Amino acid sequence: MIKIKAVLFDLHGTLAYVENPVTETEIPEYLFSRGYEVSPQQLKAAWAFVSFIDYPKYGYKNWRSYFSKIFWRLKVKVNEETLNAIVKLLESKPYQLYPDAAAAVIKAKESRFKTAIVTTIAYFQFKKAIQPIRNYFDFIMTGYEAGCDKTNPKMYKKVVEILNVRPEEAVMIGDDVPIDIVLPKKMGINAILLDRQGKNVECLHADAVIRGLDEAVETVLRKFGET
């Protein structure tokens, strides 16, 4: 049996979350109150374009540059006061680690696995959240490092190359069936589905379905053997 040498972690919904995130209407309503006509669907479309196309190309370092690009996509020029208010709002909704995240990552590293985060999300958005465990990751793969979004097989291909392991020597842990399970499995990477809400998701592609990250690491050790 091939030994697992690397454990890959999804970020959003797996390692971290945003408590009370900004809603789809919150920013558009504020913009309308300031005299800027940006509908929720327009903002959603521009935000997605920047997340999946612009960020992988340019790697924005903060909410100001990131959201300035969103407004550029919308062809809307806002004043500094409006932009500052939106940036302040977004900065007030930071990513936080799930209670089981730190211990799981540390255990994976102490078990001599190579470790990485695999996400499209811009690094500045979760940098502070992972600071306590940053040194336990060998690599942080975002859309900018990969040059693409996570639905592109290139991201997984690149991260296993950087970690210097074969696909079958890696296991991905995440909560999104198409992106965290089906896609890596097609590439020969093992995959464990995280079902935090206990929805009893049926996923024939997953090597295992678990409820928490502590269980995920235990499953890697038990199912695939220690490195």
Q: d(Cα 118, Cα 173) in Å, to the nearest integer?
A: 10
Taking only the tens of pLDDT, the chain with its 227 residues reads 678 999 999 999 999 999 999 999 999 999 999 999 999 999 999 999 999 999 999 999 999 999 999 999 999 999 999 999 999 999 999 999 999 999 999 999 999 999 999 999 999 999 999 999 999 999 999 999 999 999 999 999 999 999 999 999 999 999 999 999 999 999 999 999 999 887 766 777 899 999 999 999 999 988 776 54
Strand partners, 170: 6
Residues of the chain with CATH 1.10.150: 26-91
Strand partners, 114: 6
Q: Between helices 63-74 and 123-130, what is the axis angle to 10°?
A: 160
* CATH class label, 6-18+96-224: alpha beta
Question: What are the DSSP calls for 85-149, one per residue?
Answer: HHHHHHHTS-EEE-TTHHHHHHHHHHTT-EEEEE-SS-HHHHHHHHGGGGGG-SEEE-HHHHTS-
Q: For residue 171, what is the DSSP state?
A: E
Domain 26-91, CATH: 1.10.150
Paired tokens of 192: 């464990």
Which of 67, 133, 66, 63 lies closest to 94 in space, CA to CA?
A: 63
CA dihedral sign, ordered 31, 36, 42, 45: negative
Residues of the chain with CATH 3.40.50.1000: 6-18+96-224
